[in-house]
Amino acid sequence: MGLNIEWALSELDEFIQQTVMTNNSYVGNGVVSLSNKSSTAASDAEVAQQAQVVEKIFDRVISGWRTDIELRKSNRWTRHREAAIRAKAELERQEEIRKNLGDDAPELSAAKLHPWIWSGASSLWQSGHYREAVEGAIKKLNAETQNKVGRRNLSETDLFNQAFSEQPPSTGKPRLHRMEDDGGSTFKSIQRGARTFAEGVFAGIRNPLAHEASQEMAEQQALEYLAALSVLARWVDASTLEVGS
């Protein structure tokens, strides 16, 4: 957050000590005076000065404190005191909270990747063979792309380079178009992007796997590789097949 936590905790502690509440009822010398009001340990002026600082801490740590915490009539500082106690707990236990609840980032589910990718990886993935699962997904993607363009004589980089070529299709050389070929720069850019992305997948993921057969892969790394493969699979699957006359 860019917040000096040690400083913030010190300021919150000061405010919490200042706002210790004492009921204003009085019993003494035979006189009983009952009140539903409370007074703070420090003077109202001192509390107000400290509130000027801690309100800014509240806004950073528990931004909805003005509306989420009920304002009680017993003392004007009761809402601020509760906010200070909450903010202190949040700062002191934020690592524990993050560890046990996660950081609220979106999660990537392997099962929701493109079906070609997950079907090629799932059985090996579930047995903990992550490197082989990635290899299985690559083989499945290659096979499905061969099936779509009807070319078994090409594979991997060569297959994708020709499939996403900007050149018009010809006999025996169909193309995959991610958008209509209007001869414009956008069409050429998209086709080139698909080709270079595929080349990166095979050069950066597939080729190293062939030389690391004895090394297992971390689950997170394997999941990221599957995500990259899923992007390419969706492009292939969604592309229009253009055949030569």
Q: 27-56 pLDDT, tens per residue?
A: 556 555 555 677 888 999 999 999 999 999
Among residues 222, 189, 190, the alpha carbon closest in space to that of 208 is found at 222
pLDDT in tens, 10-27: 999 999 999 998 865 555
* Of 68-72, 196-200, 203-207, the least confident: 68-72
Percent of the chain residues past pLDDT 70, beyond the cut: 91
Using CA atoms, how far apart are residues 84 and 95, in angstroms rounded to an integer? 19
Residue 216 reports pLDDT greater than 60: yes
Q: Per the structure block, which two tokens stand in for 199?
A: 């080349």
Give the amino acid at 207. Answer: N
pLDDT tens-digit map of 92-126: 998 888 778 876 677 788 888 999 999 999 999 98
Burial class (CB in 10 A: 0-12, 13-18, 19+), 194: buried
Query: 0.85 exceeded by the pTM?
Result: no
Task: Report, as an integer, the average pLDDT of 123-131.
Answer: 89
The confidence score (pLDDT) of residue 83 equals: 95
pLDDT recorded at residue 150: 95
Distance of alpha carbon 200 from alpha carbon 138, whole angstroms: 13
